Amino acid sequence: MTHRVCEACGFENAESGRACRLCGARATDEYALIAVAPDDATPAPRKALEITREYTCSSCTRDYTVSYERQPAEPEQPVPVACPHCWQTTEVNVGRAAADGQDYHVEKA
C-alpha cells in the first residue's frame, strides 16, 4: 500500500487512491494528494495553505470568517476572536504560527 501526504491538511499517511482519513480530501478535490518522498530523498518544501473558515456567532447568529496561513501538518491552537457584527468574543483554532504571531483576521461573511 502506498502512502501519500494530503495537500489539503498535511496528513502524512493518506492512502494512495483514497480520500484522506483526516480531512476527507480526494485526489480529484481542489487539493490533490502528492507523493511522499522516499526517506533518502530530500523532500520538496511545502507551501503554506491559505485557510478560511466560516463560523456563526452564538450571540447574534450572523456569519463571519477567520483566515490565516498554515503549513501542512502544522498543529492548531485556540485563539480569541470577536464577532465583527456584535463583538461577542469566542475561541477558534488557527495554526500555531498564526496564533503565536496573531497573524489571522476576522471578516464579516
Helix (H, G, I), strand (E, B) or coil at 1: coil
Look at the block and give the residue holding cell 483566515. 67
30 pLDDT exceeds 50? no
- CA gyration radius for the chain? 16
Domain residue limits, the chain: 1-39, 49-108
Q: 89-105: per-residue pLDDT in tens?
A: 999 999 999 999 999 99
Residues 6+ apart with CB under 8 A from 50: 67, 68, 69
**What is the C-alpha to C-alpha distance for residues 95 and 5, in angstroms, rounded to an integer?**
18
What is the average pLDDT across 29-55? 67
- As a whole-number percent, the residues of the chain with pLDDT over 90 amount to 52
